[in-house]
């Protein structure tokens, strides 16, 4: 796991955009997209590079991490809508090639397996962007999620519903259930890129990167993955015990080595 500590949130977004740009410029890429606030700066930066330097997403496709159960696709806070308004509408990524779990499926118990099969049929995800919840969730794998889990319905914790209430009129409007890629599904992506900002994420980042591998902190599953880049600002790094080493390693990163 490589931990990249950047001075400011905008430095973080630009490093993440560099990583994604590298894939997209190399050829057809399957992106794994997260919603929530953490990737927004990176999406804006990628859209700017599309506009100003012709970064071309026409050969890319994308899979979302998760979706609320029971929220119509057309709702402005469904992740289907959010990823379009925040990213897809601003680049030349074909909207039909941006897939998300169907939270309105009449057969919700089977939707997870169908979604995992669609990811596998596409050849898997090349680069997966991830945010992290204050409780250590990735996707919406709340604490206690099996480290090998597949895409399925999960119940949000009250804390996550409160954290997400800022996107809705009131916490009562935040659905209780989500369809989320499982920790096993996420781990199959070839490169995981975690993004976090602010003091509020510092404990979760420290637990994920330096704590025990445990379902208690679902993001700790990244410790088993062979290619992880954690890109965070100083505040989110403030509880890392080895922060000085991560800075030192970055300073001495061999010039031939990319993220």
Q: What residues are annotated to the active site?
A: 66, 135, 137, 142
Taking each helix axis from N to C end, the angle separating 9-26 and 40-53, rounded to the nearest 10 degrees, works out to: 50
At closest approach, how far in Å is the CB of 48 from ligand F6R?
A: 20
CA 230/CA 12 separation, integer angstroms: 10
Applying the rule CB under 6 A, the residues between 209 and 248 that interact with ligand F6R are: none
For ligand F6R, the closer of residues 43 and 140 by Cβ is 140
CA 151/CA 110 separation, integer angstroms: 10
Q: Of 36, 3, 17, 1, nearest to 180 (Cα)?
A: 36
Measured CA distances, 218 to 18, 20, 83, 170 (Å) = 27, 24, 23, 27
For ligand F6R, the closer of residues 35 and 149 by Cβ is 35
CA 129/CA 148 separation, integer angstroms: 19
Inter-residue long-range contacts of 240-246, CB under 8 Å, 24+ positions, other chains counted = 240/3, 240/5, 240/202, 240/205, 240/206, 240/209, 240/210, 241/206, 241/210, 242/3, 242/210, 243/3, 243/5, 246/3, 246/4, 246/5
Q: Which of 127, 138, 228, 237 binds ligand F6R (CB under 6 A)?
A: 138
Number of residues that bind ligand F6R (CB under 6 A): 14
Q: Which of 139, 175, 182, 218 binds ligand F6R (CB under 6 A)?
A: 139
Classify burial at 66, counting beta carbons within 10 Å of its beta carbon; exposed 0-12, middle 13-18, buried 19 or more. Answer: buried
**Per rule CB under 6 A, is residue 125 in the interface with ligand F6R?**
no
CA 218/CA 137 separation, integer angstroms: 5
For ligand F6R, the closer of residues 55 and 236 by Cβ is 236
Q: Give the x/- contact pattern for ligand F6R in 14-53, rule: CB under 6 A.
A: --------------------xxxxx---------------
**Per rule CB under 6 A, is residue 131 in the interface with ligand F6R?**
yes
**Per rule CB under 6 A, is residue 159 in the interface with ligand F6R?**
no
Task: Give me the residue whose beta carbon is nearest to ligand F6R.
Answer: 131
**Per rule CB under 6 A, is residue 103 in the interface with ligand F6R?**
no
**Per rule CB under 6 A, is residue 151 in the interface with ligand F6R?**
no
- Using the rule CB under 6 A, give the single segment among 20-28, 131-139, 151-159, 240-248 that binds ligand F6R: 131-139
**Per rule CB under 6 A, is residue 137 in the interface with ligand F6R?**
yes
**Per rule CB under 6 A, is residue 133 in the interface with ligand F6R?**
yes
Q: Where in 173-226 does DSSP place strands (E)?
A: 177-180, 191-196
**Three-class SS state of 175:** coil
Q: Which of 16, 31, 55, 66 binds ligand F6R (CB under 6 A)?
A: 66
**Per rule CB under 6 A, is residue 65 in the interface with ligand F6R?**
yes
Residues that bind ligand F6R (CB under 6 A): 34-38, 65-66, 131-133, 137-140
């Amino acid at each position: 796991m490589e931990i990249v500590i950047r001075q400011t949130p905008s430095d973080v977004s630009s490093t993440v955009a560099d990583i994604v740009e590298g894939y997209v410029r190399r050829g057809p890429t399957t992106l794994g997209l997260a919603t929530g606030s953490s990737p927004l700066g990176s999406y804006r930066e990628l859209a700017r590079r599309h506009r100003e330097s012709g970064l071309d997403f026409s050969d890319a496709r994308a899979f979302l991490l998760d979706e609320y159960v029971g929220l119509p696709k057309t709702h402005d806070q469904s992740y289907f809508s959010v990823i379009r308004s925040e990213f897809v509408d601003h680049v030349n990524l074909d909207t039909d090639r941006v897939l998300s779990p169907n939270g309105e499926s009449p057969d919700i118990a089977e939707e997870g397996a169908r979604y995992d099969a669609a990811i596998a049929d596409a050849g898997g995800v090349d680069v997966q962007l991830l945010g992290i919840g204050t409780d250590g969730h990735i996707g919406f794998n709340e604490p206690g999620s099996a480290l090998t889990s597949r895409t399925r319905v999960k119940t949000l914790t009250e804390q996550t519903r409160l954290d997400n209430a800022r996107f809705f009129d009131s916490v009562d409007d935040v659905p209780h259930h989500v369809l989320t890629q499982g920790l096993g599904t996420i781990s199959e992506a070839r490169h995981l890129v975690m993004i976090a900002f602010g003091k509020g994420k510092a404990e979760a980042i420290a637990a994920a990167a330096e704590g025990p591998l445990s379902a208690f902190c679902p993001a700790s599953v990244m410790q088993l993955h062979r290619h992880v880049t954690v890109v965070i600002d100083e505040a989110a790094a403030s509880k890392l015990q080895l922060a000085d080493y991560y800075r030192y390693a970055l300073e001495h990163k061999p010039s031939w080595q990319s993220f």
